[in-house]
Structure 1
Amino acid sequence: MAYHSTSGTADNTADFLVKLKDFLTTVVGWTLHDDGSAQPDPYHVLKSVGESGIEDIYLQFIDDTNTDRIVVRGSLFWDATAHAGVKEAYHNSYTYIRTVDASQFLYWLFADLDHVFVVTKVTATYYGHYSGLINRFWSGAVAVTQTAATPGSDVVLQVNDASIFTVDGYYLIKDDAGIERVQITAVDTGVTPNTVTVASLANAYAVGAKIGEDPQPVIIGRYQSPGSFYALNKFDGWSSTSGQTGSSAAAHGNFHTAANPDKRYGLLTMFPWLVAHTSSAYKELRGELIEVYAIGSGAADSEDVLDMSGTTYRIFNISGPGWCAVKE
């Protein structure tokens, strides 16, 4: 797993944008998909195929006219020729990394090919930001279409591998232009290419479209991550830039303060941050954040390092979520 971390001092917001891009591209292995550094609002669009090699992750980082922030957006696909995102996920007021435009600040970066977690220290306050894939609870396996698909009923699609599907099951199909929920009514693994039959297809899809249980579970966090986020899709696709809202909650049942290392045998417990959609119209537990954990307040001081059997974790008391441990 290509997991990396670094820390340093940024001169200002503009300098941090460059440092973030350089870390993700030269160290972690993301691709600079669209370089907008010469634009009035400088930006970088970074792309990753994930640790699995089959993901589609597009993150845009923008130094726009808003004060003391790097705006973060995600997209189903980013057209580097048109310099535009397709079916984006973000919120104008919340999805950003807290920075300082006119003076230095400290930062910590944690990332792999699936996600990035950023911590910045502004004066004496720590701010977190999480964007990218989550550890999904559903399968990440996808089948790839071998021919283009047209809308209709009982549509037969040629795919590279139909064995991942269950008849009458529901899946998502996506390409660079669209995404929707479909029901698989028939599977044939005895022909080459394999085929699946879709009950109804509302949109056309290009050759190379992907079909799976939960393709592209990308979230764009608010500036006080872990916490609220905007997902790129949900069980039935995409509705709007901020239409797939959700939140992260630590799985500690309010017992994190009871896991106090100063008592008895020095026990320290780290709890995962679960990821869910929790609106009245749509509730679904989708997974958990990657290598970010909730801990009790007595574990250490901010910026301290915990060594857990050879694996180290950096501790922060982050504005909003509170005490967190992040794998280095």
Structure 2
Amino acid sequence: MGYHSTSETASNTADFLVRLKDFLVGTVGWTLRDDRSGDAEPSYVLASPGESGAEDIFLRFVNDSAVDRIAVRAYLYWDAATHTGVKEAFHTSYTYIKTVDASAFLYWFYADRDHVFIVTKIAAVYYGHYCGLLKRFWSGAVAVTQSAASPGSGVTLQVNDASIFRVGGYYLIKDNAGIERVQVTALDTVASPNTVTLASLVAAYASGAKIGEDPQPVVVGHYQSPGSFYAINKFDGWASTTSQTGTCGAAHGGFQTASNPDQRQGLITLFPWLAAHTTAAYKELRGELIEVYAHGGGITDSEDVLDLGGVTYKVFNLSGPGWCAVKE
């Protein structure tokens, strides 16, 4: 359904939660996966197939017992029947949206079916929060298994398309219960259906499992996004709620003030926010944030609008990362 943005005033945290749900479901095209608004800690679980229609994005927004915030959690999968999530990414101290429980505040929503970026203005301070897909640097192509798979060595699976693989390559396999890293040792693109042979498989996977280089790069950011984040997986799968840590860095090399504006034409340059895992055991440049950019801020104030050939960007001096511009 494309990219959308809006800005309004929320009466308080409870009102903000409803407005966020209504915007993502009613305007952007997400699905209300689970309505837990009647719980002691009201929440909504929203799901999206992404702009491609082939993604699996599950985000939970919770008005929890902590003051002045909406907690945000991401999942490999959410079971609406049992109201439980599988393989969560979340940190109680960091992954939330800054709000006000007892008074009104301004907010801005920017979203498509891949992600949402939220800005709230609390008193005179602007806070950002990013969650959803990264613009991945690895392939998003996936093959879908045509039958269930059992653990073992030399496991051959029927898939709808084996042409996306290369022999010797490493991939992730995932279903609604698990995710792990696998190596392809053989493939057959002539057989109908195609087949792919894996060196080994630790867990069982249901028919309809997906195999690809990076099939679900979903992250949930800190309340001072762009900055640190938690992902629901890394190169070898999921370990724990807070084990897949990462951080964002603006791709300006420290030269943002050389273009805020430059002396030649008076232009401002927007730099992408890169997203990486930097822990020694799993270093990886994963991708970049969608439609969120850094800049030097030399001739702008928060809430100014930059017009780049008909495409406009709202400027914020965000707590933590500093000057950012977000596509409207």
Q: What TM bracket, shorter-length normalisation? A: over 0.9
Structure 2 residue identity aligned to 1:178 = G
2:108 is matched with 108
State how 1:178-327 maps to structure 2 within 5 Å: 178-261=178-261, 263-327=263-327
Q: Is the 8 A contact 1:159 1:195 kept in 2?
A: yes
- Paired AA for residue 9 in structure 2: T
Judged with a 3 Å threshold, the aligned counterparts in structure 2 of structure 1 residues 192 and 128 are, in CA distance, closer, same or farther, namely same
1:19-58 → structure 2 map (5 Å cutoff): 19-58=19-58
SS of residue in 1 equivalent to 2:60: strand
Q: Which residue of 2 aligns with 1:137?
A: 137
Preserved CA contact (<8 Å) 2:262 2:268:
no
Contact 1:186–1:197 (Cα < 8 Å) also in 2:
yes
Q: Is the 8 A contact 2:250 2:294 kept in 1?
A: yes
SS at match of 1:74: strand
Match of 1:26, as an amino acid? G
The Cα shift of 1:266 comes to 1.2
Secondary structure in 2 aligned to 1:157?
Answer: strand
Within-5 A mapping of 1:68-83: 68-83=68-83
Q: Distance in 2 between matches of 1:260 and 1:62?
A: 38
RMSD (Å), alpha carbons = 0.8
**Structure 2: runs of 5 or more not aligned:** none
- Name the aligned partner's letter for residue 132 of structure 1: G
1:139-177 C-alpha deviation (Å, 9 max, x unpaired) = 000000000000000001000000000001000000000
Q: Deviations over 1:206-236 (max 9, x none)?
A: 0000000001000100000000000010000
For each residue in 1:178-207, what CA deviation from the matched residue of structure 2 results, as whole angstroms up to 9, or x when unmatched?
000000000001111100001100000000
Provide the rounded CA distance (Å) in 2 between the counterparts of 1:22 and 1:266.
40
Contact 2:141/2:212, CA 8 A, preserved across alignment: yes
How high is the TM-score relative to the length of structure 1? Answer: 0.99
- Provide the rounded CA distance (Å) in 1 between the counterparts of 2:235 and 2:31: 28
Displacement of 1:262 in angstroms is: 6.8
Change (3 A) 1:158 1:262: closer
Q: Does 1:90 align with 2:90?
A: yes
Aligned to 1:157: 157
Contact 1:262 1:298 in 2 (8 A): no
SS in 2 for 1:27: helix
Residues 262, 158 of structure 1: alpha-carbon distance in 2 compared, 3 angstrom cutoff? closer
Dislocated runs of 4+, deviation >6 Å: none
Residues matched between the structures, number: 328
Match in the other structure for 1:126: 126
In the alignment, residue 62 of structure 2 is paired with which amino acid?
Answer: I
Question: Structure 2: which amino acid aligns with 1:324?
Answer: C
Unpaired runs of 5+ residues, structure 1, are none
CA distance in 2, matches of 1:65, 1:148: 41
- One-letter identity of the residue aligned with 1:271: F
Do 1:89 and 1:220's aligned partners in 2 also have CA atoms closer than 8 Å?
Answer: yes
Provide the secondary structure at the position in 2 that maps to 1:275: strand
1:325 shift after superposition: 0.3
Q: Distance in 2 between matches of 1:266 and 1:26?
A: 40
SS of 1:281 mapped into structure 2: helix
C-alpha distance in 2, partners of 1:122/1:263?
A: 35
The structure-2 alpha-carbon separation of the partners of 1:186 and 1:313, relative to structure 1 and needing over 3 Å to count, comes to: same
For residues 232-282 of structure 1, the C-alpha deviation after alignment (integer angstroms, 9 at most, x for no partner) is 100000000000000000000110011022734211100000000011222
